Amino acid sequence: MTKFQKAFCVLLSLCFFAVLAVMPGPFFLRGNVYRQVPLYCFLEKKATSIPQSEDPETYEKIIAGNAQYLGRKIQEENGIKDEKLLARSGTEHSVTDRTAGAASGGQEVKDATENEASQKKDASKDETSVGLESEDGTSDGQKSKDGASEGLESEDGTSAGQEPKDGASEGLESKDRTSAGQESKDGSSNGQESKDGTSSQGSKTDTDASAEKRNKSDVSGNEKSKDKTKDGKKKDKPVEDDITDNIKAAAAAIKPHPVVDLSPESLANYDYLLGQFFIVDPTTAVTADQLNAASFLGEDLTIKQDAQAPQILIYHSHSQETFIDSREGEPEDTVVGVGNYLTELLTETYGYNVIHVTETFDIIDGEIDRSQAYDYAREYIEQVLAENPTIEVIIDLHRDGVPEDRHLVTEINGKDTAQIMFYNGLSYTVSHGPVEYLPNPYVQDNLAFSFQLEYQAAQYYPDFYRGIYLAGLRYNLHLRPKALLLEAGAQTNTVQEVKNAMEPFADILNRVLSP
């Protein structure tokens, strides 16, 4: 070895030890030293960016492995529920026929009664055939969606959040928008996304005006639209009630048809659970002890079916978020309008008592400024909760920000429907460990709430959810155990697509909250 070669080796050694002295963290504190090598990061990103739909061999193996289990589970559940569903369907049809008959004449009432009797006879005769049909995904003449989606799209996008300095206010929890590869079977796609900041301008309303809005929303949420005549007979239902009944009937007709393996054995596998249901922001970390599917599903998250007092609170930390076809200056075309529709569904269709806060938290001096939005929202929501201690569920409703060429949409019940994502804060960052100034005693409860919602979505609307995004801060989820930050669609969706998304979301929420 020449002197030059010796000197070069010594120089390389000195450089290596210098790097260790300056940046020991990446090598000793995070493990997997090879993951710090730029070449490995490049190859890993390239490998995981291949959409699952472009790997037909793996796709066929997954479908084959799931087919037997899914068929057995669907057959077992349908075998138990078919008789009840059929009887309930017959009763609902007969009640509808009698109501229509009351409006047109007594003769039609008799016909409705005869139709009911004939339906019951036919139901008892065809009970066995209906059970067989249910294995193929049909119920009462209505075919459910095929268990396997035609194209498994891999969604890219994980934005690394900015970590606050110690002692910074919670308003610095500027939420990093992400996109998740949940539509991919392995859930492993990653990439970069930035939060779209374009929103319509608005002005901050005062506290009194907002309180008046809440009171009106509370009253309207509890009013019943059913009128009765003097002799006790019901009048014809308005068009709004018919729409509500149709939404509820459509949700009830859907039967479980998951496209991923939901068996206890698979969910007990940490890597499988993490890959299929969660997306971890690079600024935070999670352990197998924190993600326990059996523990999440074992929690009782039901609430009392007493709508005499407020049960659910909906608000918007970023109330100025808009959509691709939003009209400027029209609140109904913002995320607030989506909240109005969700409130209507939960009150009119499912019978909950809901308060919808439409206060603005992301406008300062007439300009959109979200740096302190979570601080302002927290102060206001804490006051609402103090005035309404019966509230158990809190939903901070947002829309995501994605690249302009990306459209988060699927089809549910024949409608173009925006996809949703749940957003959870762990109050933990890789660089600082536990975020002491943002404590959250309900981290595990929040995770259980999000997971049970996603579990229901995986059974009934498998193309609807994008995943549970785990970030490092708190996002006001400490206010209640059943607190949720929901990302509905993105700026590239239409207003109607996002409002359509509230129908399946209200259904899965009701499934989780109902005893």
Task: State the pLDDT at residue 246.
Answer: 72
Is the residue at 313 inside a domain?
A: yes
Task: State the pLDDT at residue 34.
Answer: 54
Distance, CA of 255 to CA of 140 (rounded, Å): 12
| Residue 226 predicted with pLDDT over 50 | no
Q: Which one-letter DSSP state was computed for residue 179?
A: -
Shared domain check, 191 and 101: no
Task: State the pLDDT at residue 169.
Answer: 44
Shared domain check, 222 and 125: no
Shared domain check, 249 and 126: no
Shared domain check, 500 and 440: yes
Task: Please choose, from the candidates 223, 481, 484, 244, the residue with its C-alpha nearest in 3D space to the C-alpha of residue 353.
Answer: 223
Share of the chain above pLDDT 70, in %: 56
Is the residue at 269 inside a domain?
A: yes
Shared domain check, 349 and 414: yes
Tell me the residue range of the domain where 299 lies. Answer: 170-227+238-513
For residue 192, give both structure tokens: 């970069």
pLDDT in tens, 293-341: 999 999 999 998 788 999 999 999 999 999 999 999 999 999 999 999 9
CATH number, position 488: 3.40.630.40
CB atoms within 10 A of CB 436: 10
Is the residue at 26 inside a domain?
A: no
Task: State the pLDDT at residue 12.
Answer: 87
Strand 278-280, strand 465-471: pairing: parallel
- The mean per-residue pLDDT over the stretch 437-445 comes to 97
- The mean per-residue pLDDT over the stretch 215-222 comes to 42
Distance, CA of 397 to CA of 335 (rounded, Å): 7
| Residue 384 predicted with pLDDT over 70 | yes
Distance, CA of 316 to CA of 485 (rounded, Å): 9
Task: State the pLDDT at residue 37.
Answer: 62
Signed CA dihedral, 396, 359, 223, 481: sign only: positive
CB atoms within 10 A of CB 266: 16
Using 50, 70 and 90 to split pLDDT, how confident is the model at 470?
Answer: very high
Task: State the pLDDT at residue 391.
Answer: 97
Task: State the pLDDT at residue 500.
Answer: 98
Is the residue at 338 inside a domain?
A: yes
Using 50, 70 and 90 to split pLDDT, how confident is the model at 23?
Answer: low
Task: State the pLDDT at residue 18.
Answer: 78
Residue 435, φ and ψ in degrees, nearest 5: -85, 95
pLDDT in tens, 58-84: 656 655 655 555 556 555 655 554 555
Shared domain check, 205 and 69: no
Residue 39, φ and ψ in degrees, nearest 5: -65, -40
Shared domain check, 204 and 138: no
Task: State the pLDDT at residue 279.
Answer: 97
- Residue 249 or residue 479, greater confidence: 479
Which of 197-201, 235-239, 314-318 shows the lowest mean pLDDT across its residues? 197-201
| Residue 218 predicted with pLDDT over 70 | no
Shared domain check, 353 and 315: yes
Q: What is the mean pLDDT of the chain?
A: 74
Dihedral over alpha carbons 447, 453, 459, 464 (to 10 degrees) = -110
- The mean per-residue pLDDT over the stretch 441-446 comes to 98
Task: State the pLDDT at residue 17.
Answer: 79
Q: Alpha carbon of 344 to those of 48, 141, 220, 330, 352: distances in Å? A: 41, 29, 9, 19, 10
Task: State the pLDDT at residue 164.
Answer: 43
Shared domain check, 179 and 79: no
Q: How many domains does the chain have?
A: 2
Task: State the pLDDT at residue 427.
Answer: 97
- The mean per-residue pLDDT over the stretch 80-95 comes to 50
Residue whose tokens read 């929501």: 381
Is the residue at 332 inside a domain?
A: yes
Residues ≥6 apart with Cβ < 8 Å to 474: 170, 173, 425, 427, 435, 438, 439, 440
Using 50, 70 and 90 to split pLDDT, how confident is the model at 223?
Answer: very low
Q: Is the pTM of this model over 0.85?
A: no
Q: Alpha carbon of 71 to those of 64, 251, 452: distances in Å? A: 11, 21, 22
- Residue 174 or residue 325, greater confidence: 325
Is the residue at 45 inside a domain?
A: no
Which of 9-13, 378-382, 419-423, 456-460 shows the lowest mean pLDDT across its residues? 9-13
Domain final residue, candidates 107, 124, 143: 143
| CB environment 111-149: b (16+ within 10 A), e (fewer) | ebeebbeebeeebeeeeeebeebbeebbbbeeebbebee
pLDDT in tens, 122-134: 444 444 333 333 3
Shared domain check, 394 and 324: yes
| Residue 420 predicted with pLDDT over 60 | yes
